Structure 1
Amino acid sequence: MWNWLTVALVLAQAGGEAAPAAAPAAGEGAAQQPPGTGSMIGFFAPILLAFMVMMWMNSRQSRKDQDRKRNLIQSLKKNDQVVTIGGIIGTFVSRSEDGLEVTLRMVDDSRIKFRADAIRDVLSTSEAAHEKS
């Protein structure tokens, strides 16, 4: 992964060096940059570009996770077995009118209200049967 970044940094530094002149004029030798010094922009540009790409990929993944969770909550049907982020397993009963709260029924027929975003996953029928036993 870092191989392309290393190559980009080496190319950026090599691009900043000036080709040596055939014969520097008198008094110009002191004004020339010593060999090996490149511009700071050439050095930081690949690092900044890599940082921006990583941030874009991270925000894209977060957006995908939010969409998946929203679709999961909207697709809940009555009597679906769900797991909350706290590990509580219950049966989905209803959703509030604004869609921000859900009501879950526990094993002893008690009902608990949760925020809708606290639902982590819907258990499949095989997992639900395993939990009941």
Structure 2
Amino acid sequence: MWQLAAEAPAAGGLGAIGTFLPIILMFAVLYFLMIRPQQKRSKERNTMLGALKKNDKVVTIGGLHGTIVEITDDIVVLKVNDATKLTFDRSSISSVTSSAAVVESDK
């Protein structure tokens, strides 16, 4: 009887690889479902922020719609209506609704 108990663990046999395989698979699934898409969105957002230019119509993260009047490395000045200009950080721009190339081609 003691002899059978000693042989039982060795008969199951994948060893260390079998023990760590579920953990490795979990990390692979997490990478492809969570980490990689987040990196892709971050890269697209940085590209969009880098491509901002004067006369682009944008939406801020607060939902404010405006047209870029001035732009520097860190600051964007938006024209909200005829008399109102507001200053925002460049990182507060959420999306571009229409770019300056489209606005100029409509004229």
TM superposition score normalised by structure 2: 0.69
Other structure's SS at 1:32 match: helix
* Unaligned 5+ runs, structure 2: 100-107
The 5 Å alignment of 1:1-133 reads 27-33=2-8, 41=16, 42-43=18-19, 45-57=20-32, 58-96=34-72, 99-124=73-98
Q: CA RMSD in A?
A: 3.1
Per-residue CA deviation, residues 76-125 of structure 1 (Å, 9 max, x unaligned), is: 221111011111101112222xx222111111431111121211111138
The percent identity for this pair of structures is 29
Q: Is the 8 A contact 2:78 2:85 kept in 1?
A: yes
1:68–1:39 distance in 2 versus 1, CA, 3 Å: same
**Which structure has the highest helix share of the two?**
2
Whichever structure has more strand as a proportion of its residues is 2
Q: TM-score, normalised by structure 1?
A: 0.58
Residues of 1 paired with 2:67 and 2:98: CA distance? 12
Q: Give unpaired runs (5+ residues) of structure 1.
A: 1-25, 126-133
Aligned length: 98
Q: Which structure has the bigger radius of gyration?
A: 1
Q: Is the 2:53–2:71 Cα contact (8 Å) retained in structure 1?
A: no
The runs of at least 4 consecutive aligned structure 1 residues that moved more than 4 Å come to 36-41
1:56-92 CA distances to partner (integer Å, 9 max, x unpaired)? 3233222221221122122222111101111110111
Amino acid at match of 2:28: V
Gap change, CA 1:83 and 1:52, over 3 Å in 2 = same
